[in-house]
Amino acid sequence: MIPPGIRCSVHVAYYLWYGNPETDGKWMHWDHKTLPHWDPAIDRKHPPKRWEPPVEAHSPFRPARGLYSSADPVTVDAHFAELASMGIDSAMFSWWGRSKSSAVTKRDDADSGADTDRLLPLVLAAARRHKVDVSFHIEPYGGRSPETFLDDARHLLEQKGHVGTAEFAPHGGGDVVTFFVYDVSSRHTPPPERKRWKLTFETLREEFKGLSFELVFFCLWMENRGDAAFVREAGFDAGYSYFAATGFTPASSPTNWPGMPRDLFVPSVGPGYDDSMIRPWNTHNIRPRTGSQYYDSMWASAMDFDMVTITSYNEWGEGTQIEPAVQYESPKPGSNVHYVHYPDNDPNFFVKRTQEWVRKYKAHCRIRWNTNELLEEAGEGADVNIRGDDRSVRQDDEDDLKKSKLNKNGNEL
């Protein structure tokens, strides 16, 4: 169940595998290689290639900040200032295992060599400055298991500090430390492993019981309503859909969201999808942005849920980013690479759009919960179970709560 401390909150996938020669001594991830297809017949149609920055990077878009390094303090600070401006509650730190762990056999899908764990202090410092939380997106590093995650969680909690600080309680409901465990799902997790995950979570909850924070664990929700059984069986609190490509899984299809349980399912919204420069055989999954229509449609479908995640802030290789982008043409002679820019050629277009949707979503969600509380107090019941201790509302949303009601499309009535 989604706890009151993160109810009506918005979280965004945040990637830290980027590097450049100025900061890191080499290119990382911007020089992503094309990935092979599992069918040899299809794979033969797409000769392997590695992109060559700075002229041509691996994304169909060009970052307004240039081909930056995730280890650059100025860049990371700018990222968190931008996240704060959009009203984002937490950056989902894409984490690929502990730096000194012998269990880690693969750092990331691009084999870039990026060590995300060493960047935690830098990111946490920027997050504190801008009052944005950091949640943990636990990636499928080589060797990951329920048992390695047990030590991972202890390590991350130690790195984050005792975390019980008021600035990290988005809605006054007490501090929550959130883990999104990517690719642990009903489709990919056999029953014996589900029991091991449940035991891991039970161990962590018991170990940290009575402290000033609550541990919350999300699995990847891939199917329809039936995944609720997996959430409970494997000991998770809830699940998130992650994928920005509608139709890629049943859970990533907004047409299926009305049947999802609001207390267990978190929809993930995104501005579009295009990973054709790293998976050239995957063009059937491209989802054009069509201005902001694609993004707007997903947000409209997510309005009635208790929490939302965005895919992504800066996953440039899959074309899901909302981070500012600029118009760009490759100077390479004979290049057939086409780079896309944002509507109106405005680098900040999707930052502004996200600001609008986050504001509307939070106001809509809080109005709904306040209404349910009033109904419950009046003895008239409510459509969801309400915890009486979740009555706090951010000062900056009071006008929205008093003056407006929002329909499902986020428009004022």
180-195 residue pLDDT tens: 999 999 999 999 999 9
**Span 261-319, pLDDT tens digits:** 999 999 999 999 999 999 999 999 999 999 999 999 999 999 999 999 999 999 999 99
**Span 58-102, pLDDT tens digits:** 999 999 999 999 999 999 999 999 999 999 999 999 999 998 666
Per-residue pLDDT at 256 exceeds 50: yes
Q: What is the per-residue pLDDT for 114?
A: 83
**Band of the pLDDT at 411, cuts 50, 70, 90?**
very low
Q: What is the per-residue pLDDT for 406?
A: 41
Per-residue pLDDT at 123 exceeds 70: yes
Per-residue pLDDT at 388 exceeds 90: no
**Span 40-52, pLDDT tens digits:** 999 999 999 999 9
Per-residue pLDDT at 216 exceeds 60: yes
Q: Where are the beta strands (DSSP E) in 110-266?
A: 133-138, 175-181, 213-220, 238-240, 265-266
| pTM across the whole model | 0.88
CA 181 to each of CA 45, 122, 136, 221, 267: distance values in angstroms, whole numbers, following the listed order: 34, 22, 8, 10, 15
**Span 138-183, pLDDT tens digits:** 999 999 999 999 999 999 999 988 444 434 433 333 489 999 999 9
Tokens of 383: 């459509």
Q: What is the per-residue pLDDT for 211?
A: 83
**Helix ranges restricted to H, 208-330:** 227-233, 293-302
Least confident of 53-57, 164-168, 326-330: 164-168
Determine which helix (DSSP H) or strand (DSSP E) holds 8, and give its type and residue range.
Answer: none
Q: What is the per-residue pLDDT for 182?
A: 98
- C-alpha–C-alpha distance, residues 7 and 362, integer Å: 9
Q: What is the per-residue pLDDT for 113?
A: 73
Nearest to 265 by CA among 306, 230, 229: 306
- C-alpha–C-alpha distance, residues 76 and 358, integer Å: 22
Per-residue pLDDT at 119 exceeds 90: yes
The mean of the pLDDT values for the chain is 88
73 cis-preceded (ω within 30 degrees of 0): no
Q: Which fold has domain 4-350?
A: TIM Barrel (3.20.20)
Per-residue pLDDT at 412 exceeds 70: no
- C-alpha–C-alpha distance, residues 186 and 150, integer Å: 20
Least confident of 89-93, 161-165, 241-245, 344-348: 161-165
Per-residue pLDDT at 28 exceeds 90: yes
**Band of the pLDDT at 407, cuts 50, 70, 90?**
very low
Percent share of the chain, pLDDT over 70 = 84
- C-alpha–C-alpha distance, residues 264 and 239, integer Å: 6
